[in-house]
Structure 1
Amino acid sequence: MGARRGRQIVVRDYADDAIGPEHFEMVVAEVRGLEEGEVLVRNWWTSVDPGMRLRLRPDPPAGYFPQFKLGEPLDGVLTVGEVIESRAEGFSPGDVVWHPFGWRELSIVAADVNYMNGVARLQVLDMDGVEPQHYLGALGSMGLTAYAGLSMVGALSGGETVWVSAAAGAVGSLAVQFALRSGNRVVASAGSSAKVAWLESLGATAFNWRSTSVAEGLAQAAPEGIDVYFDNVGGGHLEAALAALRPGGRVALCGSVSEYESAPMGPANLFQATAKELTLRGFRGSLHLDLLPEMQSEVRSMVKDGSLVYEESIYDGLERAPEAMSDMLAGRSMGKVLVRI
């Protein structure tokens, strides 16, 4: 049998402003033979996440996952597929696994490496009652990020008012549902009337930040203020949160998507953190693997009792991955953005 070949998307150029298909290129690459301790995976689903945009900047933030390399495929992108060849103990053809080598059809993965701080270590997935792509969303790093963020600021005990921004996205929609399930009142903001209607159907008080100012929308939704802010947006949203937080309030700093394709827009009222004795807690889901089993147990319970509502924006075909990223960053998608390879 001749050498295997597979399509993969490589990075052509970085961008300071809007990222688009012109920044990527599809190539066909030969796949080498396996070495001891490796498996070959035929990928089924690959992820598209806002944080990937930071790794496509000429000057990515220090301390985060490394910049994607020009002319090479995107390493560090969680992916689900089927093992088709194995030289690694504990892995057999037919196993459904996750790993970090996405945006390609075929991936060689070492079995004993803690990729992405361990969150993407090669692992056989329990498929009982769930779909493979759930491990790229609610049962994977998206669920872990939402759960860890709420946990870090003590928002899983209930009885408080929690605001979640970008609440119709992959992480935000889970944070909304985890917070509601814990007994909190949840305010949710999103960028379209359809997203607002969906968030309201979940039980949140929602507003469209594009049709009113964030401060006005927040004041109407939570006139007595908020206790917790789960921040996916940064910039003006964070500024509005600092103004609305009650004394002793907490902020889970998850992301700052408003700044991923533009100059930083830090809040002008940061002194409110001092005046109100607020806690601003930055976190990364991948650094809280100890919470993964707890989160997955919670999500499985929600799947079984039918209470989990998780939207997916699915793009068919590997060639559509750049389009999926562009749509996600422009707010044209809802829920978890996935590419079905």
Structure 2
Amino acid sequence: MTTTNRQIHLASRPDGEASSANFRLVEAPAPEPASLAVGQVLVRHHYLSLDPYMRGRMNDAKSYAVPQKLGAVMGGGTVGEVLASRHPGYQPGDKVVGMGGWQEYAVVDAAQPGALRKVDTTHVPLSAYLGAVGMPGVTAWYGLMKICAPVPGASIAVSAASGAVGSVVGQLARAKGCRAVGIAGGPEKCAYVVDELGFDACIDYKAHADPKSLYQALADATPDGIDGYFENVGGAVLDAALARMNAFGRIAMCGMISGYDGAPIPLAHPALILQSRLRVEGFIVSEHMEVWGEALGELAGMVASGRLKYRESVAQGLESAPDAFIGLLKGRNFGKQLVKLI
């Protein structure tokens, strides 16, 4: 094993937009197997997950997630291989998923509930456990199944439709017999959503410079209105979707990436929530661990059988993580954003 463990620390908090200057690449001594305490597991990370929620943790502000500490390893999901173990449930060579952070190695207290989980890579690639068969996939499953409550024939719309979460929402909706309409940025992403993922339609929001044009495009794609909407973006996209919601429609509020830099996100017509008697519910998937087993089982089966497709943007090397993360916030990624570490 190498003598160093490269890590990315949060060096400073953003003032407005985040930048690569907010991060620092450092080297620390690599953990030694002989140093493990009872119950600990040493993991070599293969992939690191980059997710929009990490932007909120960079701020020292009240939120659903504890702020990231300065001068410490950035938190984040990881998949990798067990190198050494003093826990009876894990053996060297086991493939695992956890929250090892932006670093090449991690020592995990495997006795802590949820800290580490073994995964089977026979039919599902290891990287998929950070995407379609991981937190993003379960996020999609929960918001769709438990909030949007799809029934055959319903109209389901989702923003950021080509991303790790949105792409799963639409495919699950189609599998449940619904009409699936995506909203994404650019003709290439919209073509992927329709031609490869099987959505019924996709709106390129970048092609519509004003709210009226965006609304009309969404209206053309949802002639019978929208029964369930999965929100990842906010802003003008949410305004257009609100105006298309059917009475007693449901909105799963998952993310607001348009406001992650701290700018207010105005809502043009909040009265529509009352007029259409909408159910609008924000959720954090880590607060619903009771559904993870069911969701992961369904998602893994769909991936293994080829019924659930996904795409990955893979940056190479730990040093690429900050720029890849900034690109994710700006929509430069295509599908799930990962960093390959080995």
Name the TM-score class by shorter chain: over 0.9
CA deviations over 1:243-267 (Å, ceiling 9, x no partner): 1101111100011000001412131
Q: Quote the Cα distance in structure 1 between the aligned partners of 2:304 and 2:130.
A: 18
Look up the equivalent residue of 2:303 and give its one-letter code: V
Q: Quote the Cα distance in structure 2 between the aligned partners of 1:51 and 1:304.
A: 28
Q: Quote the Cα distance in structure 2 between the aligned partners of 1:15 and 1:217.
A: 35
Q: Quote the Cα distance in structure 2 between the aligned partners of 1:18 and 1:305.
A: 41
**If the length of structure 1 is used for normalisation, what is the TM-score?**
0.93
- Cα displacement (A) at 1:4: 4.3
Q: Which residue of 2 aligns with 1:95?
A: 94
- Specify which of 204, 207, 212 is matched with residue 208 of structure 1: 204
Equivalence map 1:15-94=2 (5 Å): 15-32=14-31, 33-59=35-61, 61-62=62-63, 64-75=64-75, 77-94=76-93
- Cα displacement (A) at 1:37: 1.1
RMSD between superposed Cα atoms in Å = 1.6
Q: Secondary structure at the match of 2:292?
A: helix
Q: Secondary structure at the match of 1:227?
A: strand
- Cα displacement (A) at 1:276: 1.3
Look up the equivalent residue of 2:172 and give its one-letter code: F
Confirm or deny: 8 A CA contact 2:157 2:230 kept in the other structure. Answer: yes
Q: Quote the Cα distance in structure 2 between the aligned partners of 1:263 and 1:55.
A: 16
Q: Quote the Cα distance in structure 2 between the aligned partners of 1:261 and 1:106.
A: 30
Of 330-339 and 80-89, more deviation after overlay is shown by 80-89
CA deviations over 1:14-58 (Å, ceiling 9, x no partner): 114222221111111124522221111111111000111111124
Q: Secondary structure at the match of 1:170?
A: coil
Q: Secondary structure at the match of 1:323?
A: helix
Look up the equivalent residue of 2:243 and give its one-letter code: A
Q: Quote the Cα distance in structure 2 between the aligned partners of 1:154 and 1:211.
A: 27
Look up the equivalent residue of 2:202 and give its one-letter code: A
CA deviations over 1:159-190 (Å, ceiling 9, x no partner): 21111001111101111111111111011000
Equivalence map 1:1-341=2 (5 Å): 4-32=3-31, 33-59=35-61, 61-62=62-63, 64-75=64-75, 77-114=76-113, 118=114, 121-201=115-195, 202-204=197-199, 205-212=201-208, 213=211, 214-341=214-341
Q: Quote the Cα distance in structure 2 between the aligned partners of 1:329 and 1:154.
A: 26
Q: Secondary structure at the match of 2:84?
A: strand
Of 310-319 and 255-264, more deviation after overlay is shown by 255-264
Q: Quote the Cα distance in structure 2 between the aligned partners of 1:89 and 1:65.
A: 31
Following TM superposition, the consecutive aligned residue runs of length 4 or more in structure 1 with deviations greater than 6 angstroms are none
Q: Quote the Cα distance in structure 2 between the aligned partners of 1:31 and 1:113.
A: 22
Instruction: Decide whether aligned partners of structure 1 residues 16 and 236 sit closer, same or farther in structure 2, where only a CA change above 3 A counts.
Output: farther
Identity %: 40
CA deviations over 1:69-100 (Å, ceiling 9, x no partner): 1111013x110111111112211111111111
Q: Quote the Cα distance in structure 2 between the aligned partners of 1:265 and 1:81.
A: 38
Gaps of 5+ in 1: none
Q: Quote the Cα distance in structure 2 between the aligned partners of 1:159 and 1:322.
A: 42
Q: Secondary structure at the match of 2:188?
A: helix
Look up the equivalent residue of 2:231 and give its one-letter code: D
Q: Quote the Cα distance in structure 2 between the aligned partners of 1:25 and 1:158.
A: 49
- Cα displacement (A) at 1:215: 1.7
Confirm or deny: 8 A CA contact 2:124 2:304 kept in the other structure. Answer: no
Of 289-298 and 194-203, more deviation after overlay is shown by 289-298
Look up the equivalent residue of 2:40 and give its one-letter code: E
- Cα displacement (A) at 1:235: 2.1
Confirm or deny: 8 A CA contact 1:38 1:88 kept in the other structure. Answer: yes
